[in-house]
Homo-oligomer: A and B are copies of this chain.
Amino acid sequence: MIVIMNINASQASIDRVQLEIEKLSYTSHLVEGKTRTVIGVLGTKPLRGKQHLQTLPEVSDVLEISTPYKLASREWQPIDTIVGIGSARIGGNHVTVIAGPCSIESYEQTKIVAEAVKAAGGHLLRGGAFKPRTSPYSFQGLGVEGLKIIQQVGKEVGLPTVVEVTDTEVLTITAEHTDMLQIGTRNMQNFTLLKEAARTNLPILLKRGMSATVKETILAAEYILNEGNNQVVLCERGIRTFVDHTRNTLDVSAIPAFQRLSHLPVIVDPSHAAGKRHKVIPLSLAGVAAGAQGVMVEVHPNPEVALSDGPQQLLPEDFKDLVDRIRMVAKAVGKDLA
């Protein structure tokens, strides 16, 4: 921590800050500039000091200079984490493709999609059983029946599965039926869910909150790592901005930012940022070009009758084309398809 005094702050105020720093069991260190004094705060992890110091007289600002997360940081672990999900791997110089229907609607629908995903070279099957919906009057998912369908189809087709867990009440049942848990954008700071999901020891796909900073997202991952589970994949899925041509703005610049600060793999989910199908492919490729180690997209055999988010789901043939293009873009950035 660094305490920045006002310009020409009085000696009394400087002495007071130093005294308070010592009371907090830190060591203080004066840096006297021409017009302004800055006081370094040396010692162990600061917890309560910052707020206290900010309220002292003639203090202009108090800056934290250490990162608030530790286990998730690149400084803690310089080497990329590779997350294993059954036969699939996410991380390093590989691009992993995750695909499936937005909502699991039936065994048939899921099977058709899963076979198309497998045939095109996809690595994991995704699908929603419990759907968080903005309106109480929208389709809320098949629930446990959906879990059973995706588990069975995943086994039949040979693809590990990813399913969103929407709250702690359905955590146990969801964990029993899938290979990887997804924590959605609205739950990124549902700290109880983060901790309990971590304890299942399943790998976790953590979506960035729609208004979360990069730092807050890494802190949410830290909740999981702090429980002893380091199998976490971060997912950029678009943020809330003033923009009205899409529902969310895919923040591709977050991908290199995450990778610089953390060793965790980063994938991109363009569905909600695209909104419409004709944008899903460009945004998926943009994510890979920006360095994403995976892409997650929605595929539906017949998007126009989909029970949720139809317009943004790809047809199986679009998906095949997407995988081919991902392979080429991955190569351009020194990666290969996982």
A residues near B (Cβ < 8 Å) are: 2, 4, 6-7, 29, 31-36, 38, 40, 42-45, 47-48, 51-52, 54-56, 60-61, 63, 65-66, 68-69, 75, 132-139, 166-169, 186-187, 189-193, 210-211, 213-216, 219, 222-223, 226, 239-246, 249-257, 260, 273-274, 276-279, 282-283, 285-291, 303-307, 309-311, 325, 328-329, 331-333
Contact = CB atoms under 8 A, between A and B. Distances in A.
Nearest to A51: B310
A65 B40 CA distance: 13
A182 to B, nearest CB: 16
Contacts of A133: 191
Contacts of A136: 191, 219, 222-223, 226
Given A6-B75, A38-B2, A241-B242, A135 B68 contact: yes
A316 to B, nearest CB: 16
A293 to B, nearest CB: 13
A132 B240 CA distance: 22
Contact of A167 (B33, B65, B190): B190
Given A242-B240, A253-B279, A189 B191 contact: no
Given A55-B304, A216-B134, A249-B253, A189 B186 contact: yes
Please tell me how many copies of the chain the complex holds.
4
Instruction: Please provide the 8 A-B residue pairs with the shortest distance between their CB atoms, ordered closest to farther.
Output: A211-B211, A328-B332, A285-B289, A289-B289, A51-B310, A31-B40, A286-B286, A286-B290
Given A32-B42, A243-B253, A252-B286, 4 more contacts: A45-B137, A47-B137, A186-B190, A250-B252
Nearest to A260: B278
Contacts of A287: 286
29 contacts: A2-B63, A7-B66, A33-B42, A38-B65, A47-B137, A47-B138, A69-B135, A132-B189, A136-B219, A136-B222, A166-B192, A169-B192, A186-B189, A187-B190, A239-B249, A245-B257, A246-B253, A246-B257, A249-B249, A249-B251, A256-B278, A282-B290, A285-B289, A286-B287, A288-B289, A325-B332, A328-B328, A329-B329, A329-B332
Contact of A283 (B211, B244, B290, B325): B290
A243 B252 contact: no
